[in-house]
Amino acid sequence: MAPGIVAWKGERVIAPSVRSPLWLAVYLLLVTAPLLLAFVAPRPEAAGFAWDFAMALGYAGVAMMGVQFVLTARFKRACAPYGIDVVYYFHRYLALVMLALIALFAVRSVGSQQGQNNQALIGLRVEYAARAGLQWGAAQALLPVSSCVGGSNLVIEGVAVTVNCVPTDVIEAGVTYQVFAIDAQAVSGVLGQPEYAQRSLTGRFSNKP
C-alpha cells in the first residue's frame, strides 16, 4: 500500500487527504442543519437581530451536543484519517465551544427578552398617557364654559402629551350644540432610540343636550 493511505480490512482504499475534509463537511452539515431548517417554509417571523442571533447560538450549541455523542462512538471510518488521539482532543475542545455557545445563548436571550419587556412597558405607559390626555381634552371641552383649544401640552407620568381640540357648531332640529374632535399624541424618548414610543388617539365628543 502506498504511503499515506489508510484502510481497514474489507474497506475501499481512500486517501486521507480526501476523507479528512469529507468528515469535517459532514460535521458542519450536522451542526448547521437546525439553522438551515429555519429557512424552510413556513419561516418564523423575525424578532430582531439580538433575539435571532441568540436563537442561532442555541440551535448550534444543541446540535453540537448531539454530535458529541456520535464522536464518542469512535467509528473506524471517521477516526482513520485523523487518529484516535486527534478525535479525542477534537471531542474535548468542541465540548468547551459547545458550552460557550450555550452560555452566550442564555446571556443574549435574557438580555434581548429584558429589552423587549422594557419596550412593551414603555409602550403601555405611552398608550395610557395618550388615553389620559384624550380624557383630559374631553373634560375641558365639555365644561359649562367650554375650553377647546389646540396645542395643549401636558406631562403625564413623565410622558409628553399634546392635546388638540377642534370644535364644530351643529344645528339639528332647532337645537344648536358643538361637536369636538380631540386628538391626543403621547411621546416618550428620542426618535431612533430603543426607549422611543409614540401613540396617537382621537375621539369625537359633543355637548348635545
Specify which of 88-97, 100-109, 131-140, 193-202 reaches the highest per-range mean pLDDT.
Answer: 131-140
For residue 77, the model assigns a pLDDT of 64
Residue at grid coordinates 339639528: 172
Q: What is the pTM of this model?
A: 0.49
Question: 127: Cβ–Cβ under 8 A, 6 or more apart, which residues?
Answer: 186, 199
Question: 101: Cβ–Cβ under 8 A, 6 or more apart, which residues?
Answer: 57, 58, 60, 61, 64
For residue 43, the model assigns a pLDDT of 67
Contact 14, 7 (CB under 8 A): yes
Residue 128 in this model has a pLDDT that exceeds 50: yes
Query: Using alpha carbons only, what angle is made at residue 170 by residues 167 and 171, rounded to the nearest 5 degrees?
Result: 155
Nearest-angstrom CA–CA distance, 179 and 84: 86
Q: Kindly report, residue by residue over 25-59, the tens digit of the pLDDT.
A: 777 787 777 777 777 767 666 666 666 777 777 77
Q: Kindly report, residue by residue over 143-188, the tens digit of the pLDDT.
A: 877 778 777 888 888 889 999 998 888 888 888 888 999 999 999 8
Q: What is the mean pLDDT of the chain?
A: 76
Contact 165, 195 (CB under 8 A): no
Contact 183, 201 (CB under 8 A): yes
Structure-model confidence comparison of residues 44 and 132, the more confident one? 132
Q: Kindly report, residue by residue over 68-99, the tens digit of the pLDDT.
A: 777 666 666 666 666 666 767 777 777 787 78
Q: Kindly report, residue by residue over 195-206, the tens digit of the pLDDT.
A: 788 999 999 998
> Residue range 119-131: average pLDDT?
88
Q: Which residues pair with 201 in a beta bridge?
A: 184
Of the candidates 152, 155, 149, the one whose C-alpha atom is nearest the C-alpha of residue 187 is 155
